[in-house]
Amino acid sequence: MTMNDAFDQRLKAAFAEAAEPLNEKAEAEAFAAKLVAQLSHPDRKRVLMLGGAGSIGSAVAGTQLEGVFDQMQIPAEGLVANFAFLMAPETLAALAMALALGMVALILPRRIA
């Protein structure tokens, strides 16, 4: 506890007066808004690190996918055969990479609790 004489009151009043501009509504709102925005959005470093790691991972996986899909047996006749051009190993590998990159893009804006 601080003492409670005249000088004490004067000192408290001086500190209160010094803090007065900071307690104005606009000032408080601006400071809080800036801070909340910072807490709501992940920082750039994290985005770059995760984005970089995700992209490299996807690229490495993509180079392997073509070999995997190359082993698939595609029917020579029937309905599926009409769309066989869509299921070329390159197309499937590109789709898998797009999916992986899409997942990375989905996860990036989320903050890890």
Partner 1 sequence: MRASDEELTALVMATKNVAAFGELVRRHQGVVRGMLHRMCRNHALADDLAQDTFIRAFEKVGSFLGTGTFRSWLCSIAYTEFLKSARKRKSTDRAMERFGSGMEDSEAPRDMGNVVDLDRALTTLKEEERVAVVMCYSCGMSHSEAAEATGMPLGTIKSHVNRGRAKLQAYFAEAEVVAS
Indicate the residue among 38 and 91 with the shorter CB distance to partner 1: 38
Interface ranges with partner 1 (CB under 8 A) = 1-3, 7-8, 10-12, 14-15, 17-19, 21-23, 28-29, 31-36, 38-40, 113
Q: Which of 96, 104, 92 is nearest to 50 (CA)?
A: 104
What would the two tokens of residue 52 be?
A: 């970089």
For residue 98, the minimal CB distance to partner 1 (Å) is: 32
Smallest distance, partner 1 to C-beta of residue 5, A: 10
DSSP letters, 43-94, are -HHHHHHHHHHHHHHHHHHHHHHHHHHHT----SSSHHHHTGGGG-HHHHHH
Nearer to partner 1, 41 or 102 (CB): 41
Comparison of 17 and 77: residue with beta carbon closer to partner 1: 17
